[in-house]
Structure 1
Amino acid sequence: MSVIHLDNRLAHYEVFGRGQPIIFLHSWIGSWRYWVPIMDLASERYRAYAFDFWGFGESDRRGDQFSVPTYVAMLMQFMDRLGIARTTLVGHGMGGMVAIIAAYQHPERFNRLLTVATP
């Protein structure tokens, strides 16, 4: 289990493999565990990351700032803290919305974007 401090709160994340980074973003009522099978496959060629948004999984649950814009900021802080300059994003549901907005706001930070079941 890995944790990182973002905005003075603990965020849980996991990382598999080596290579170019790819970040997986879970949906509402989910966690990083949703991505384990695909992270395992991706880790053969990529460094696969997945983290729990605040309020989910093993990340901090304090506060009420659980919104897509807050999660976009969380993603960008996560990338900055881990030194990920540019990556591919894969998002499911709400995580897909976070990915789309992050890529729109910061196109220079993302190689590709894949969303699944995004509203």
Structure 2
Amino acid sequence: VKLSYLIHGEGQPIIFIHGYGAKKEIWKPQIKDICRKYKTITFDLRGTGESDRPDIPYTMKMLAEDIHGLMKAIEINKAHIVGRSFGGMIAQHFALMYPNKVDKLILIATNYGRKDNDWVEIAQNGRLDEIETIKSDPIKAFNQKSKWVFHIKFRREMNRDPNKKFYESFSMNDLIKESTVNPSRPKDIRNQHIVRAKESKPKTQIKISPKITDNKTPKKVAPNWGDYFIYDFKVKQKVQPILESAFYKFAETPIKGRIQA
């Protein structure tokens, strides 16, 4: 399986794993700042974006092995691993399989799995509806999805001026255009869905931290989510925040490639 990836910056490596049905481009706003201090690696999971899309059921083991293969190909022995949503579940599985390859583990809007599969069916049906709507009305598809992603005040600002650039990074129209490039196909969603349905089982212990507030994200973008979950994998890895502010020059030219995983 060939994986498409991008590398920005120099320093300690951070590998970013995107969520269900997303692509590596979802990390663009974060990479612009983080790569000033770190070497950032974003990539498309198999079945998404510019990576290969084998028409077979995917497993967590496959997806974790893909990341390991990527690290070997670009000669990275150990990295900070960041996973968002479904990507966070993959990150947890990777940490269990390759604990010596993980420096810090950062989990964003993710979980450890659930015993019931109702939520998996809802996620799949939602994604299938979204990709069909993108074909006929990408603006409508974006507005529907943004209700789950952005604060209502931020959505109103975007709709007032769809071309307005936020944080010198993206506009509403940029995000809509991006959603139409290399979109997931129904069979891609179904192949990823099988992973979620079969392997999203509780396998970790959980600690619930004291209520934490996010003082850096503007509240117009994201509301306060309240309590956060910290996962204990028994692999002696500590979950620590590493996505700190950076003050170095942005690497204008990324390294881009495709590797055989």
TM-score (norm 1): 0.88
Structure 2 equivalent of residue 57 of structure 1 = 49
C-alpha distance in 2 between matches for 1:88 and 1:20: 8
Query: Mapping of 1:1-119 within 5 angstroms?
Result: 9-119=1-111
Larger gyration radius, structure 1 or structure 2: 2
Which amino acid is 1:21 matched to?
P
Deviations 1:38-74 (A, max 9, x none): 1111101000001101100111112214232211010
Structure 2 gap segments, 5+ residues each: 112-261
Fraction of identical pairs, as percent: 30
Q: Which runs of 4+ in 1 moved over 6 A?
A: none
Structure 1 gap segments, 5+ residues each: 1-8
Asked whether the equivalents of residues 68 and 94 of structure 1 are also in contact (C-alpha less than 8 Å), the reply is no
C-alpha distance in 2 between matches for 1:12 and 1:79: 13
Structure 1 equivalent of residue 231 of structure 2 = none
Which one scores higher on RCO, CA 8 angstroms, separation ≥ 6?
A: 2
More strand by share: 1
Aligned residues: CA RMSD = 1.1
TM-score (norm 2): 0.41
C-alpha distance in 1 between matches for 2:20 and 2:73: 24
